[in-house]
Structure 1
Amino acid sequence: MSLLFFGKDPDTDEDHCPSAWVDEKTADLVLQGWKGDDITRAECLKFGSIPGTEEVIRIPARMVPQIRKACDAAERAASGAGSPELR
């Protein structure tokens, strides 16, 4: 697997911060975030279960620019326009 890195949360330390990548082979988004607290999980459970293989995560709004770039790259790759990369 090869992940293309798009950025970390600019307001957290380098060791513990939400991050965004795109899998270059599948064009899947890969996101690291803070685990949702009990209140967040309870709210999400109103819409369906959270299987053991999934997790509710929080990504800070200040990461929208990195996630937008990752989404654009993933969309290009999924449409056959080439591998995701910063352009």
Structure 2
Amino acid sequence: MSRHDATAPGSHLVLSHLTLDGIPPEPAERGQAVYRNSSAPLVPRSRAETARFFAGYDLVEPGLVATTRWRPEGEPETVDAHGYAGVGVRR
């Protein structure tokens, strides 16, 4: 059974996920090194890898975007985000 099958049609999936997209290699490596031996390892994903979680769901506007840009009302934040956020509705 997939995670998609575990939800009823009309269910919402709300997700935010860390990414290293756009981060220069040296700071990305330093950030990952902090978590390398932890009990909760850091697992950043690209936009494409994060988008796969929404298979079988219709994304709500504005779609899968930087976390600071997922704002259904008001102006988007201008600070850098190191993650993606999205809301999907199961078909």
Which TM bucket (shorter chain)? Answer: under 0.3
Q: 1 or 2, which has the higher helix percentage? A: 1
- The TM-score, its normalising length taken from structure 2, stands at 0.24
Q: Which has the larger radius of gyration?
A: 2
- Identify which of structures 1 and 2 has the higher relative contact order when contacts are C-alpha pairs closer than 8 Å and 6+ apart: 2
